[in-house]
Amino acid sequence: MADPMRIRASVQGDAADVKVLFSHEMETGQRKDANGQIVPAHFIQTVNAMFKGRSVLAAQWGPAVSKNPFLNFRFKGAAKGDKIQITWVDTKGDTRTDEATFT
Amino acid sequence: MNNARREALKTGGGITLLTLIFASGFLKPGEAISAEWNKAAFDTKNFADTMKALGGGNPAESADIVMTAPDIAENGAVVPVSVLSKIPKTESIAILIEKNPNMLTATFEIPEGTEPNIGTRVKMGQTSNVFALVKADGKYYTVAKEIKVTLGGCGG
């Protein structure tokens, strides 16, 4: 199981600001190891943010997103105490969902 | 709300089911909560092919897209890029890096209520033009910026 995400969710005026730091290698499939063997690609492909049962952001990523990816987005309608769930799925089918509370 | 779809998403085995749903034409990808990864688009090597795979024509240049990124990236492995679209009815934002092995880097679907303002970090193999591509009201708009890379992010 992959490491948890670090999610900071805050309400700023009428908009909710969400910052997510994922913990993932994001291996491109281009790199070679010390023996000259290509390191197989392994990266997060889809990211979904759910708020009160609706999607507030759906992202698709290629291998060119940085290792331990960072994501920042904003949406309207969240209040303090509300929760947001972030889910990712990677190329091996691994998935993880974490939840954060708005402050 | 379609309960079958919701269950399928929960179990994670829903990818194949979703593919079937797309194939049968019941849902447009933009409406789905978890769209199938667009392999065709992510495999493309140049701008024209990427646009084709995304289903758009030649995008118009727009001054209403603000891309914030450094002029010079010291470390190509971590280049902060943020894209803000001021175009009404922005539906999605994509980041494309011209000289990376695969051009398309990331796409973000922006549902109503979400601000068309995305920040992330990308890898760049070498100095390259970076495009922000915005789909708004069915049309594509773009803005480009060259980012100089002093240390590539794709080597060993």
Both structure tokens of B37: 């990864």
Which of B33, B107, B121 has the CB atom closest to A59's CB atom?
A: B107
Both structure tokens of B156: 């060993």
Question: Which of A77, A73, A76, A40 has the alpha carbon at shortest distance from A86?
Answer: A73
Residue A34 is classified by DSSP as: T
- Average pLDDT in chain A: 92
Residue type, B7: E
Residue A38 is classified by DSSP as: B
Asked if B33 has any chain A CB less than 8 Å from its own CB, the reply is yes
Mean pLDDT for the stretch of residues A52-72 = 94
Give the DSSP H/E element, type plus range, for residue A80. none
In this predicted model, what pLDDT tens digit does every residue of B30-46 receive, in sequence order?
444 446 788 889 998 88
Per-residue pLDDT, A2: 75
Which of B42, B100, B121 has the CB atom closest to A66's CB atom?
A: B121
Both structure tokens of B135: 């789909």
Residue reference for tokens 């060993």 = B156
User: Which burial class, exposed, middle or buried, applies to B122 when counting CB atoms under 10 A from its CB (0-12, 13-18, 19+)?
Assistant: buried
In this predicted model, what pLDDT tens digit does every residue of B47-77 receive, in sequence order?
888 988 888 778 999 999 999 999 999 888 9
In this predicted model, what pLDDT tens digit does every residue of B139-150 receive, in sequence order?
999 999 999 998
Per-residue pLDDT, A9: 95
Q: What does the angle CA B155 – CA A39 – CA B131 come to, to the nearest 5 degrees?
A: 50
Which of A32, A62, A73 has the CB atom closest to B114's CB atom?
A: A73
Task: List the single best residue of B3, B34, B50, B98 to mutate versus A (max A Cβ within 10 A).
Answer: B34
Model pTM score: 0.81
SS (H, E, C) B48-115: HHHHHHHCCCCCEECCCEEEECCCEECCCCCEEEEEEECCCCEEEEEEEECCCCCCEEEEEECCCCEC
Helix (H, G, I), strand (E, B) or coil at A16: strand
Cα–Cα distance, B54 to B38 (Å, whole number)? 8
